[in-house]
């Protein structure tokens, strides 16, 4: 279980990143922000080079810190307490010893999106690509959609280089007219899930 261990991208991962880069060419991506962990950063570098874009790194997009589970096999964790991984997957507030819960990860990663909404005006007419990790993307997507804690497990098993695609619209307010400019305050935006786990990975 990797968590925040800084492992390199495998040869299979490199090929998956190249395939993902081809997919991204039709999505209108104008900005790329990546986790600073090597496996995500290398993936983002391949995509950025293909699209002719610069890459920004942000440590807040790192994978879930798994605490005492990091570096252990599934069998080793199961031997510690049978069924504990299933409990973890189905309880967004529960964290491995000395690690992060999915709620912790969402709280860490959400400001990346909010800051981009307020500062990157080009986002109105293009797409921003965040290159992160399965656990982080799942938690962040759940948070953006406003899912309850019990609903977080609905978004899981994101495969390598597959995507979560979201779009934002001004949040509906009873009796309000459409705003003249797109709102930048998080509370004034409603996120929608356009696609989940879409890509080339088997």
Bridge-based pairing state of the strands 127-131 and 55-57: unpaired
How far, in Å, CA of 191 to CA of 94, rounded? 25
Q: In the 8-state DSSP scheme, what is residue 133?
A: -
Residue 60 lies inside a defined structural domain of this protein: yes
Tell me the CA distances in angstroms from 32 to 28, 49, 167, 179, one per residue in order: 11, 11, 16, 28
Residue 108 lies inside a defined structural domain of this protein: yes
Residue 162 lies inside a defined structural domain of this protein: yes
How far, in Å, CA of 96 to CA of 85, rounded? 9
Residue 89 lies inside a defined structural domain of this protein: yes
The CATH number of the domain holding residue 136 is 3.40.50.1240
Domains contained in the chain, number: 1
Residue 153's CB: how many other CB atoms inside 10 A? Answer: 16
Q: Which domain holds residue 67?
A: 11-198
Which residue, 111, 105, 109, is CA-closest to 67?
A: 105
pLDDT for res 121: 84
108 annotated ligand-binding residue: no
How far, in Å, CA of 10 to CA of 63, rounded? 17
Q: Which residues of 5-36 are buried (b: 16+ CB within 10 A; e: fewer)?
A: eeeebeeebeebbbebbeebeeeebebbbbbe
Per DSSP (E only), the strands in the chain are 29-34, 55-57, 127-131, 163-170, 189-198
Q: How many residues does the chain have?
A: 202
Residue 39 lies inside a defined structural domain of this protein: yes
Do 122 and 31 meet the contact criterion of CB atoms below 8 Å apart?
yes
Along the 202 residues of the chain, how does pLDDT read in single tens digits? 999 999 999 999 999 999 999 989 989 999 999 999 999 999 999 999 999 999 999 999 999 999 999 999 999 999 999 999 999 999 999 999 999 999 999 999 999 999 999 999 888 789 999 999 999 999 999 999 999 999 999 998 899 999 999 999 887 666 565 665 676 677 788 999 999 999 866 5
Residue 94 lies inside a defined structural domain of this protein: yes
Residue 134 lies inside a defined structural domain of this protein: yes
Residue 6 lies inside a defined structural domain of this protein: no
Bridge-based pairing state of the strands 127-131 and 163-170: unpaired
């Amino acid at each position: 279980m990797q968590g925040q261990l800084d492992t390199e991208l495998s040869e299979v991962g490199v090929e998956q990143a190249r395939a993902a880069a081809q997919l991204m060419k039709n999505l209108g991506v104008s900005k790329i922000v990546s986790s600073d962990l090597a496996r995500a950063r290398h993936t983002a570098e391949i995509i950025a080079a293909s699209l002719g874009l610069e890459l920004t790194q942000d440590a807040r997009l790192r994978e879930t810190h798994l605490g005492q589970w990091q570096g252990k096999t599934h069998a080793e964790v199961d031997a510690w307490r049978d069924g504990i991984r299933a409990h973890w997957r189905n309880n967004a507030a529960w964290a491995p010893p000395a690690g992060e819960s999915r709620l912790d990860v969402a709280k860490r990663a959400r400001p990346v999106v909010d800051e981009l909404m307020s500062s990157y005006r080009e986002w109105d007419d293009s797409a921003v690509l965040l290159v992160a990790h399965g656990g982080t993307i799942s938690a962040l997507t759940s948070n953006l959609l406003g899912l309850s804690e019990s609903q977080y497990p609905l978004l899981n098993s994101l495969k390598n280089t597959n995507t979560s695609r979201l779009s934002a619209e001004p949040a509906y307010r009873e009796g309000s007219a459409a705003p003249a400019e797109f709102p930048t305050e998080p509370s004034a935006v409603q996120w929608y899930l356009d696609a989940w786990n879409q890509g080339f990975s088997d």
